[in-house]
Amino acid sequence: MEKVAIIGMGMTKFGECWDKGLRDLIAEAGAKAVTSAGIDGKDIQAIYGGNMSAGRFIGQEHVGALIADAIGLSPIPSTRVEAACASGGLALREAYLSIAGGIYDVVVAGGVEKMTDVYTEQVSLTLGGAGDQEWEVFHGATFPSLYAMMARRHMHDYGTTEEQLAAVAVKNHSNGAKNPLAQFPFEITLEQVMKSSKVAEPLKLLDCSPITDGAAAVILAKESFAKKVCDNPVWITGSGHATDTLALDDRRSMTTLDATKLATKVAMKQAGITPKQVDLAEVHDCFTIAEICAVEDIGFVKKGEGGKAEADGMFDLNSDIPVNTSGGLKACGHPVGATGIKQAVEISWQLRGEADKRQVKDANIGLAHNVGGSGATAVVHVFSREVR
């Protein structure tokens, strides 16, 4: 297999981008990534773009061709990748595999979503399609309610508290306050989370990620090209992808995402590391309970200890394993097709020492964890400053 590196990265500001369309977001993130890589667009041989539902959000299908058109790279092959909220992570994996398998030398992996052009009710219905339409959405089960059930079960089984859930939001907003591209670049208090309006008990408004517009992109290259054009490439040393049942009630467990566990196992085995060697991680915190489950399923703590670990500051910015230094989905924002790529951008900036006020000291190994739906898809990547 060819060794694969990220040599350039870029993203737009996340938020309610009323003055920008899907094309604008794609073009901005793509241009930033190409400029960061210091290459000519003619070097790029293929595109893999994550997008969950442009058809329902803005009435636009055929997004693969649109991406190539928007960034001026036609007629090279451009593929849309869809895996609900894991669309970006899976686009990154497909791009990685295309180079690792010797098909291409240089490719773009990107993600984009424009979610704010429709009413919230339509956004909720569209996102509900990431679950089981027939057995969940039809009967009124929204994603906040599904994750609320996961939270309730975690509280029942392990004694997790609402304050521990709130601690996740407080931490991620603290990190997001240091990220100028975040949708919510400000801090919040535990009291504010606890007093925010209830969405699906025990989850409150400030336990939930927002509706977001945004795009992100990375340039991937094989080893010989990367070393020729880049002084500080970030190497993708492990990549894992796994699935589970679409419906939550069909799972082996409501509090363990088996897809996360398997994707993590595959990625870490390929990278030759253990969870203890990870210096920082971006995990899928669409709701605060999702981060607690993630840090357990990845192996940073034992099952049931995630809530206490969050409240004790185990994953704070200056801890041994900072989690969601970007602000996560909660504070940085969650344009669903772009989130997995944003995670790779953040890890790359951290490993290159370019994360400014949120920089993790001596970061050498990073991990990104992207989930689709309530856990039916999980994609995990391991990144390193050193080629392995």
Bridge partners for 372 per DSSP: 377
Q: How far apart are CA 276 and CA 65, in angstroms?
A: 42
Q: How far apart are CA 277 and CA 300, in angstroms?
A: 10
Chain-centre distance of CA 3, in angstroms?
23
Q: At what angle do helices 22-37 and 63-70 cross, to 10 degrees?
A: 60
Under 8 Å between Cβ of 317 and 174: yes
Catalytic residue, chosen from 241, 334, 369, 381, is: 334
Residue 173 is among the residues annotated as catalytic for this protein = no
Catalytic residue, chosen from 85, 208, 286, 293, is: 85
Residue 241 is among the residues annotated as catalytic for this protein = no
**How far, CA to CA in Å, does 53 sit from each of 22, 40, 50, 115, 365?**
12, 30, 10, 9, 32
Residues 6+ apart with CB under 8 A from 230: 5, 7, 8, 37, 38, 221
Q: Per 3-state DSSP, what percentage of the chain is helix, strand, and coil (rounded to 5)?
A: 40, 20, 40
Name the residues annotated as catalytic: 85, 334
